[in-house]
């Protein structure tokens, strides 16, 4: 029986960890968590998002702009994130509306699709 999601993984180009940390840890404010010693030599880094983890791995030869794959980050103040991301030069794209949510999309510096969503009360 599947009981939940432990983590998700995205990829960035090999050697781009510092730029990845600048976006995910610096701009988005996600805390980095330590990888197990057995995995440290493989590149990338891990992030804590609420009670889940995002594993940022490294992979070359992949066009991240060509996919709809993404992580949706739930926030409490979507207007704040519009300002923060746009202020950092990140292009904001409006998402197709879905009931009960307000949301938008953008791409990280590597082309990974990022959705920011807030539940409507």
Tens of pLDDT along 79-95? 999 999 999 999 999 99
For 49, counting Cβ atoms within 10 Å of its Cβ (0-12 exposed, 13-18 middle, 19+ buried), the class is middle
Break the chain into its structural domains and give their ranges.
7-119
Tens of pLDDT along 20-78? 999 999 999 999 999 999 999 999 999 999 999 999 999 999 899 999 999 999 999 99
Separation between Cα atoms, residue 116 and residue 106, nearest integer Å: 8
Residue 101 main-chain phi, psi, to 5 deg: -135, 150
Can you name the CATH fold of 7-119? 2,3-Dihydroxybiphenyl 1,2-Dioxygenase; domain 1 (3.10.180)
User: What pLDDT, on a 0 to 100 scale, did the predictor assign at position 2?
Assistant: 87
């Amino acid at each position: 029986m599947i009981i939940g999601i432990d983590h998700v993984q995205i990829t960035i180009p090999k050697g781009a960890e510092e730029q990845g940390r600048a976006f995910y840890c610096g701009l988005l404010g996600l805390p980095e968590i330590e990888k197990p010693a057995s995995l440290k030599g493989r590149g990338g880094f891990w992030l804590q998002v609420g009670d889940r983890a995002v594993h940022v791995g490294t992979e070359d030869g992949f066009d991240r702009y060509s996919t709809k794959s993404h992580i949706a980050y739930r926030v409490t103040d979507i207007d704040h994130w519009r300002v923060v991301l746009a202020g950092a030069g990140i292009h904001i794209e409006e998402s197709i509306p879905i009931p009960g949510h307000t949301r938008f999309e953008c791409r990280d510096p590597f082309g990974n699709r990022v959705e920011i969503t807030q539940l409507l009360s």
